[in-house]
Amino acid sequence: MNPADSPDRSTPVPTTSRTVLTGSDIERVLTRIAHEIIEANKGTEDLVLLGIPTRGYPLAQRLGQRIAAADPDVKVDELVGQLDVTMYRDDLRHGTSRTPAPTRIPGGGLDDKVVVLVDDVLYSGRTIRAALDALADIGRPKTVRLAVLVDRGHRELPIRADHVGKNLPTATSEKVKVRLAELDALDGEPVNEVVIEDHA
Amino acid sequence: MKHLLSTYDLGREDAVRILDVAEEMATVGTREIKKLPALRGRTVATLFFEDSTRTRISFEAAAKRLSADVINFAAKGSSVSKGESLKDTAQTLEAIGAEAVVIRHGASGAAARLAETDWISSAVVNAGDGTHEHPTQALLDAFTLRQHWARVKGVDPLGTGLDGMSVVIVGDVLHSRVARSNLWLLKTLGADVTFVAPPTLLPIGADAWPCTINYDLDDALAAGPDAVMMLRVQAERMNAAYFPSTAEYSRRWGFDDARLAMLDARGLDDTIILHPGPMNRGLEISAGAADSPRAVVLQQVSNGVAVRMAVLYLLLSGDH
Amino acid sequence: MTSTAATETHLIRGASLLGGEPTDLLLADGRIAAVGDAAAADERAQQATVVDADGLIALPGMVDLHTHLREPGREDAETVETGTRAAALGGFTAVHAMANSNPVADTAGVVEQVWSLGRRSGWVDVRPVGAVTVGLAGERLSELGAMAESRAAVRVFSDDGICVHDPVLMRRALEYVKSFDGVVAQHAQEPRLTEGAQMNEGTVSAVLGLPGWPAVAEESIIARDVLLAEHVDSRLHVCHVSTAGSVDIIRWAKSRGINVTAEVTPHHLLLTDEKARTYNPVYKVNPPLRREKDVMALREALADGTIDIIGTDHAPHPTEAKECEWAQAAMGMTGLETALSVVQHTMIETGMMTWADFARVTSTTPAEIGLVADQGRPLAVGEPANITLVDADARWTVDPEAMATMGRNSPFSGLELPGRVRATFFHGTATVLDGELNTPRTAGEWA
């Protein structure tokens, strides 16, 4: 078996690559989304942010830090968790076997909470479908909302985001790469950016 | 990974991955809804030529928690007892729709035969073949050991092995598939393994194994192992002159109350006791040891489900 | 009385006798009529079928002291007809049919039946082996004398597959066969030490969890038997020697002047117990495949004469007997059609033996041990025309499906080996020509 993200899953060298969000763009966008979340929830009560691995989790962390900064009663580790959706995916029979990541639910559980799912890119909507199924096996939130850094369109399911960092019209031949300093580095330097690579 | 036949051929990366996936599977067992949809619509067959209710229900629970359908085939009272061959039985199961065959068989190599012939194309999981291997038992033992070792070291078990851990395995190594599977896997994960047994119950050729062999249990315990695994000893072995009497066996190689007290006296507070079950209380392990807080026998059982979930998931997901 | 085939005449051109200089051979009336320039000059050469043997080696027809033909009783595994076809294709002109048929060859009636089946087939001499004990049960002697005096004229007696483990019975058998110059061929296997045994006991069996067949179970019986043979001053033959320790004991026995001969199978000269790691029962055989060290000791012993002969232990089995778990599988391998190639590969290509040595261990000495008239003779004028022509430079890939034996259980399947039999002459009849079965010797020729 091969690890899900083994290096041999090689991507061809992109013919073009353009930056659509810089590090500071990402910061600004996240600050806005954090405020939108508080606004929509009319405060921070019953709020839980669940990041979807891999890059949804650091984004949820960053949003959590902003919300905690706005409300001194909120502690990030009681607000932010991680929701792994691997076992709920509809493509498990294809590609290499995927290794599930841990699911971590903040101590208060999910029943009657307002859960905000956080992911980096919204595309077909299938990951979010899996996430909704995963949520249902863990608890029964009052409301589930969705926050994404980038919505690149091409939905295959009736799913929409409540909070969008940037709407990004793309071609299906293009790849949207989100790089976050918590996980990614270029030439040894941590990097924050969203780029579009064209493999056409 | 197409099949799981032995730990002899299992590399460290794959072994750690199975244990890591099992960590996630274990959390499902603590939820209210103990089920994942990962293998919905898939069919797992258990093909048991030997009675082993424990192993069979562990695999069955694992498959069901992953939403797979399970077909149980017990050879006793079936066409097999009327002379049907392994090939015909396996092909019948596949014709019914089995995509993974979990096989327990009295003949060493039976699982390998199913996997390496063109009889069937299903994934094959060895659930114990003769005196050869029992890889999922070793994986659940390693999982139990790793959780303990991580706790002792104060680290997250994910991604780790058993580096630096010392494990003593005691008993009928000659006839034990559990001992063989554990030796290879624990060595691969970085543990030091010591076998303690009467010389009659060690195979010729074991001197070439990557372990220490000691005939003296007290001597091995005095070295302060991190875990002691007691193997089941069948009293019938006495009749074949492997040892003179069960009393002499327990005195020399049983984990009795005196040896339990010895661990306490030496301050070996972090030494745990494992047993693959079913235990012969009073033979290889005393009731006092089996019921002591050091014994992790029931954790082994529940970890068995998580490990088998991980194995079935990894075998049945992805392209093959 | 002569039939048309009996006058079959062949002029073999340019064959290298035992690997020597090319020469011609004229075969007529079942004998070697002329050798060298005299062959083509002989007037009978005018009517002869010419066999171009340029680049081929001429050897005396091979004699197998250890063949399982399965008939009577297991005709689903092999028959005398199919087994002897395989033998002819493998370069043999005589085989010894082991006694473990059903019924067991323990009476004059059964051995005569096998003998006459062999005559009827006409591909090779079939020499029945008589069972030492009734039903191979190891309890009382068979009527050894009746079998010796029968038309089959049995001289080799063996319970092969089962050891004559009772020391008193073994002693009596060794003594009794002296009255007709017979020989007891022992399958050396101490039964208690090998209960349930599946493979060589050692580092590989330890890993595989298969019950071990220890070398000592063979060696202890051989040690006992050579001392018994010395004590009663009898001839002893040891079947399929498989361990380095056995070689040491036999070497010691010969140095003491004990009248012991020994055989080794081609598979024990090439394969080791590492093969068992596949759990493929095609590698399950008795005695089992041993360690590399044993293989090397066996090769040396064959080269230095400690081991006298090659015996194939050809043991065909129906597919279902091997298409199962290792422990359930039957023991044995086919060997008639691969023996020459395996021996060439292990002994000649390694420089340990010459083709003259090959002739000694595959023809001359086995014929002497079995007291087979007209076999194992020199390639000289007046001798019976039992000859094998070999293309030593050919290479081929073993395909059990293409074999004449009914058994598909060749452990050499897929292996590329040197040496192909191009022709076999059995009392002058070309049983094999151009590497294919040609014609058997017809009944009329046996007169």
Answer yes or no: are the C-beta atoms of B186 and B180 closer than 8 Å.
no
Torsion of the alpha carbons at A87, A93, A95 and A100, rounded to the nearest 10: 10
Do the Cβ atoms of A97 and B36 come within 8 Å? Answer: no
CA C200 to chain B, closest CA, distance in angstroms equals 10
Of B17, B27, B36, the CB nearest to A99: B17
Kindly state whether C319 is in contact with chain B, defined as any CB-CB distance less than 8 angstroms.
no
**Residue numbers in B near C214 (CB within 8 A):** 204
Kindly state whether C210 is in contact with chain B, defined as any CB-CB distance less than 8 angstroms.
yes
Confidence of residue B220 (pLDDT cuts 50, 70, 90): very high
Asked whether residue A6 is domain-assigned, the answer is: no
Asked whether residue A17 is domain-assigned, the answer is: no
> With the C-alpha atoms ordered C113, C116, C118, C121, is the resulting torsion angle positive or negative?
negative
Distance, in Å, from the CA atom of C252 to the CA atom of C293, rounded to the nearest integer, reads 19
**Residue numbers in C near B105 (CB within 8 A):** 325
Within this chain, do residues B62 and B78 fall inside the same structural domain, yes or no? yes
Please state, in angstroms and as integers, the Cα–Cα distance from residue C204 to each residue in B207, C198, C207, C285, C443, following that order. Answer: 12, 12, 5, 15, 51
Residue C267: which of C238, C290, C236, C246 has the closest Cα? C290
- Please spell the DSSP secondary structure of B205-265, one letter per residue: TGGGSSSEEES-HHHHHHT--SEEEEPP--GGGGGGTSSS-HHHHHHHHSB-HHHHHHHHH
Kindly state whether A101 is in contact with chain B, defined as any CB-CB distance less than 8 angstroms.
yes
Do the Cβ atoms of C323 and B87 come within 8 Å? Answer: yes
Strands C436-437 and C429-433 turn out to be: antiparallel
Identify the domain containing residue A138 by its residue range: 22-171
Within this chain, do residues B78 and B101 fall inside the same structural domain, yes or no? yes
Within this chain, do residues B112 and B28 fall inside the same structural domain, yes or no? yes
Distance, in Å, from the CA atom of B318 to the CA atom of B36, rounded to the nearest integer, reads 17
User: How many domains does chain B contain in total?
Assistant: 2
Say if A and B touch: at least 3 Cβ pairs within 8 Å: yes
Kindly state whether C131 is in contact with chain B, defined as any CB-CB distance less than 8 angstroms.
no
Asked whether residue A73 is domain-assigned, the answer is: yes
Residue C42 a catalytic site member: no
**Residue numbers in C near B133 (CB within 8 A):** 209
- Please give the share of chain C, as a percent, with pLDDT higher than 90: 97
Within this chain, do residues B80 and B151 fall inside the same structural domain, yes or no? no
Residue spans of the domains in chain C: they are 5-58+383-394+411-441, 61-369
Residue with tokens 């060493």: B108
- The CATH number of the structural domain formed by C5-58+383-394+411-441 is 2.30.40.10
Distance, in Å, from the CA atom of A58 to the CA atom of C222, rounded to the nearest integer, reads 76
pLDDT of residue C443: 59
Q: What is the interface pTM, i.e. ipTM, of the complex?
A: 0.94
Asked whether residue A132 is domain-assigned, the answer is: yes
pLDDT beyond 50 at B54: yes
Residues 6+ apart with CB under 8 A from A142: A46, A112, A113, A114
Tens digits of residue pLDDT in C269-278: 999 999 999 9
Known binder of ligand: residue B137?
Answer: yes
> With the C-alpha atoms ordered A77, A78, A84, A85, is the resulting torsion angle positive or negative?
negative
Asked whether residue B7 is domain-assigned, the answer is: no
Within this chain, do residues B142 and B216 fall inside the same structural domain, yes or no? yes
Asked whether residue A181 is domain-assigned, the answer is: no
Within this chain, do residues B182 and B51 fall inside the same structural domain, yes or no? no
Find the range with the poorest average confidence among B4-13, B67-76, C8-17, C81-90. Answer: B67-76
- Please give the share of chain B, as a percent, with pLDDT higher than 70: 97
Kindly state whether B288 is in contact with chain C, defined as any CB-CB distance less than 8 angstroms.
no
**Residue numbers in B near C206 (CB within 8 A):** 203-206, 208-209
**Residue numbers in B near A137 (CB within 8 A):** 31, 33, 35-36
Asked whether residue B99 is domain-assigned, the answer is: yes
Asked whether residue B20 is domain-assigned, the answer is: yes
Asked whether residue B2 is domain-assigned, the answer is: no
> With the C-alpha atoms ordered C64, C68, C72, C78, is the resulting torsion angle positive or negative?
negative
Asked whether residue A178 is domain-assigned, the answer is: no
Known binder of ligand: residue C187?
Answer: yes
Distance, in Å, from the CA atom of C149 to the CA atom of C108, rounded to the nearest integer, reads 8
pLDDT of residue C35: 97
Distance, in Å, from the CA atom of B316 to the CA atom of B63, rounded to the nearest integer, reads 11
Confidence of residue C332 (pLDDT cuts 50, 70, 90): very high
Strands A185-186 and A193-198 turn out to be: unpaired
Residues 6+ apart with CB under 8 A from A69: none
Within this chain, do residues B183 and B296 fall inside the same structural domain, yes or no? yes
Distance, in Å, from the CA atom of A129 to the CA atom of C52, rounded to the nearest integer, reads 80
Tens digits of residue pLDDT in C209-233: 999 999 999 999 999 999 999 999 9
- Mean pLDDT score of chain B, rounded to an integer? 94
Asked whether residue A135 is domain-assigned, the answer is: yes
CATH number at residue A69: 3.40.50.2020
Do the Cβ atoms of C206 and B205 come within 8 Å? Answer: yes
- Confidence (pTM): 0.92
Residue with tokens 């001194």: A72
Torsion of the alpha carbons at B274, B279, B281 and B283, rounded to the nearest 10: -90
Residue among B12, B20, B317 with most chain A CBs within 10 A, to mutate: B317
Identify the domain containing residue B53 by its residue range: 12-134+302-316
Confidence of residue B234 (pLDDT cuts 50, 70, 90): confident
pLDDT of residue B79: 61
Q: Which of C64, C313, C357, C391 is catalytic?
A: C313
State which H helix or E strand residue C87 sits in.
helix C80-89
Within this chain, do residues B119 and B155 fall inside the same structural domain, yes or no? no
CATH number at residue B309: 3.40.50.1370
- The CATH number of the structural domain formed by C61-369 is 3.20.20.140
Q: How many CB pairs under 8 A join B and C?
A: 73
Kindly state whether B133 is in contact with chain C, defined as any CB-CB distance less than 8 angstroms.
yes
Show the CA angle centred on residue C111, arms to residues C109 and C114, nearest 5°.
110
Do the Cβ atoms of C210 and B132 come within 8 Å? Answer: yes
pLDDT of residue B320: 63
User: How many domains does chain A contain in total?
Assistant: 1
Q: Fill in the amino acid letter for C268.
A: H
Kindly state whether B116 is in contact with chain C, defined as any CB-CB distance less than 8 angstroms.
yes
Of B21, B31, B33, the CB nearest to A100: B21
Do the Cβ atoms of B180 and C212 come within 8 Å? Answer: no
Say if C and A touch: at least 3 Cβ pairs within 8 Å: no
Q: What is the mean pLDDT of residues C133-162?
A: 97
User: Which residues does chain A have with pLDDT short of 70?
Assistant: 1-14, 200
Asked whether residue A184 is domain-assigned, the answer is: no
**Residue numbers in B near A110 (CB within 8 A):** none
Within this chain, do residues B157 and B295 fall inside the same structural domain, yes or no? yes
